[in-house]
Amino acid sequence: MIIKDLFANLTIIISLLFIYAHLTKSSPLRSSPSIKRKILVGAAGGLASNVLMQYSIEIGTTIIDLRHIPVILLASTGGALPTAISVMFVMIGRFLIGVNLSSYVSIMFIVSVAIFSIWISKIQLTRNTKILYMLTFSNISFSFTVIYLIEDISFLLYLIPLYWTISYAAGYLAFYILEFLRDSQMLLEKYKEEAKIDGLTGLNNVRRFDEVFNKLTTDAKTNNKPLSLLYIDVDFFKRINDTYGHTEGDAVLKQLGLLLRKGTRSFDLVSRNGGEEFTVVLIDCQLNRAIEIAENIRKAVEKNKFSLNDGQKITLTISVGIASYGDTTNNINMLIEEADRALYQAKKSGRNKICVAD
């Protein structure tokens, strides 16, 4: 029965870790979360310990379970605040089960485990060493606790070695699962971000452009805010590829991306939409300011010496089409079409210039 109950505790810990990871998948686990997040995580850990207490081994007024595992996890990964909150939940939960000598002693046990675990987590030791120390201290504390509360020596000789074994197994497994889930979430988040970034220039790609542009146009229309769009194309870029090769062409595009970033505001949306075509969404920006920004970018590109991989320097120019919601059009759904049409006019009328949508 003891093995069965402790094993049930182990499976509950694993299940709760996976449930927690699933619920936080849109907001992955962090090594330095906000205060609000720490409070919520601490409460979740405390509730997890309370669930474990509901599946405990009862020996008179003494209940035995693995409630210390969530507390150790929080001390190791979250620090003092979430650990303290979880301990408060454990204390309340234990007193709700019954107020007696056993409950007071068990509170001393969980508080001592929490304090020791927080202290160990701050010491420069390897992760596995910290886990070993935390679990060993917990097991030693548990042993003294049950020796004080339970008088049956033969039962203690059976219980303590079994508890130590399952506690070590549960602790290491819980830490492994937590690290696995955290790494998986961070990797998934990284892949999601990379899927929105152009691999060559580091700018936003067309997928990210579409996603953010739709949100910006909705906001501009709802709140009647100005929004301007620059459509940019490298003049005669095919000649660069044909003359110097595609590798050199890529090097040029990468440098152009840096110029576009430098020529725009930090909150503007700069994207490579494909090939030598770029866009800049100027947020809360009226036409006159958009023209000024576009002209500064055009001049910066015209004056820049683009370095090739073999050390050569070349120059190039760009053409820019501008459309602005509230100035060139009152139909925000036409912004892209108007900017594209203005770009066509800029290229048709001689290139290396900017044109504003009619």
Over the chain, what is the mean pLDDT? 90
Closest CA to 255 of 207, 295, 203, 216: 203
Q: What is the pLDDT at residue 314?
A: 95
- Residue burial 110-132, b: 16+ Cβ < 10 Å; e: rest: bbbbbbbbbebbeeeeeeeebbb
Domain extent for 40: 2-194
Evaluate whether 358 touches 328 at the Cβ level (below 8 Å): yes
Note if 276 is an active site residue. Answer: yes
Q: What is the pLDDT at residue 192?
A: 77
9 & 65 share domain: yes
CATH code for position 83 = 1.10.1760
352 or 21: which carries more pLDDT confidence? 352
Q: What is the pLDDT at residue 56?
A: 81
40 & 78 share domain: yes
168 & 48 share domain: yes
Q: Is residue 122 part of a domain?
A: yes
Q: Is residue 201 part of a domain?
A: no
Q: Is residue 42 part of a domain?
A: yes
Q: Is residue 200 part of a domain?
A: no
Q: What is the pLDDT at residue 24?
A: 63
- DSSP string of 220-251? HHHHT--EEEEEEEETTHHHHHHHH-HHHHHH
Q: What is the pLDDT at residue 12?
A: 86
309 or 62: which carries more pLDDT confidence? 309
Among 18-22, 199-203, 246-250, 333-337, the least confident range: 18-22
**Rounded distance between C-alpha atoms, residue 94 and residue 109, angstroms:** 12
pLDDT digits 0-9 by tens, 36-57: 888 888 898 899 899 888 888 8
Evaluate whether 86 touches 74 at the Cβ level (below 8 Å): yes
Evaluate whether 142 touches 109 at the Cβ level (below 8 Å): yes
Q: Average pLDDT for residues 205-216, to the nearest whole number?
A: 94
pLDDT digits 0-9 by tens, 188-197: 877 877 788 9
27 & 171 share domain: yes
Closest CA to 53 of 42, 69, 33: 69
Tally of structural domains, the chain = 2
Q: What is the pLDDT at residue 32?
A: 54
**Rounded distance between C-alpha atoms, residue 7 and residue 55, angstroms:** 10
Q: What is the pLDDT at residue 319?
A: 97
Q: Is residue 109 part of a domain?
A: yes
116 & 245 share domain: no
Q: What is the pLDDT at residue 23?
A: 63
**Rounded distance between C-alpha atoms, residue 331 and residue 333, angstroms:** 5
Q: Is residue 199 part of a domain?
A: no
276 & 173 share domain: no
Q: Coil, strand, or helix at residue 197?
A: strand
Q: What is the pLDDT at residue 179?
A: 86
Which contiguous run of DSSP H or E holds residue 218? Answer: helix 206-223
User: Quick one: pLDDT band at residue 203, thresholds 50, 70, 90?
Assistant: very high
Domain boundary among 170, 194, 218: 194
215 & 178 share domain: no
Domain boundary among 167, 194, 221: 194
106 & 162 share domain: yes
Q: Is residue 326 part of a domain?
A: yes
Q: In three state form, how does the secondary structure of 264-321 look?
A: CCCCCEEEEEECCEEEEEEECCCHHHHHHHHHHHHHHHHHCCEECCCCCEECCCEEEE
% of the chain exceeding 70 in pLDDT: 96
Tokens of 46: 């405390």
- Inform me whether the pLDDT recorded for 5 exceeds 90: no
Contacts of residue 203, defined as CB under 8 A and 6 or more positions apart, other chains included, come to: 197, 257, 260, 261, 270, 271, 272, 278
Q: What is the pLDDT at residue 189?
A: 78
Order of strands, sheet of 227-234, starting from the edge strand that comes earlier in the sequence: 269-274, 277-283, 227-234, 318-325, 354-356
Please name every residue paired with 318 in a beta bridge, in sequence order, or none if there are none.
234
**Rounded distance between C-alpha atoms, residue 320 and residue 356, angstroms:** 9
Q: What is the greatest pairwise CA distance in the chain?
A: 98
Closest CA to 276 of 309, 295, 249: 249
Q: Is residue 64 part of a domain?
A: yes
116 & 240 share domain: no
Q: What is the pLDDT at residue 272?
A: 96
294 or 24: which carries more pLDDT confidence? 294
236 & 167 share domain: no
56 & 101 share domain: yes
Domain boundary among 194, 222, 248: 194
CATH code for position 223 = 3.30.70.270
228 & 308 share domain: yes
User: Quick one: pLDDT band at residue 210, thresholds 50, 70, 90?
Assistant: very high
Tokens of 222: 């709802």
Q: Average pLDDT for residues 66-70, to the nearest whole number?
A: 90
Q: Which of 25-34, 61-70, 211-220 has the highest mean pLDDT?
A: 211-220
Q: What is the pLDDT at residue 291?
A: 96
Q: Among the options 248, 276, 292, 337, which is catalytic? A: 276
Q: Average pLDDT for residues 135-161, to the nearest whole number?
A: 93
Q: What is the pLDDT at residue 26?
A: 54
- Inform me whether the pLDDT recorded for 28 exceeds 60: no
pLDDT digits 0-9 by tens, 287-345: 999 999 999 999 999 999 999 998 999 999 999 999 999 999 999 999 999 999 999 99
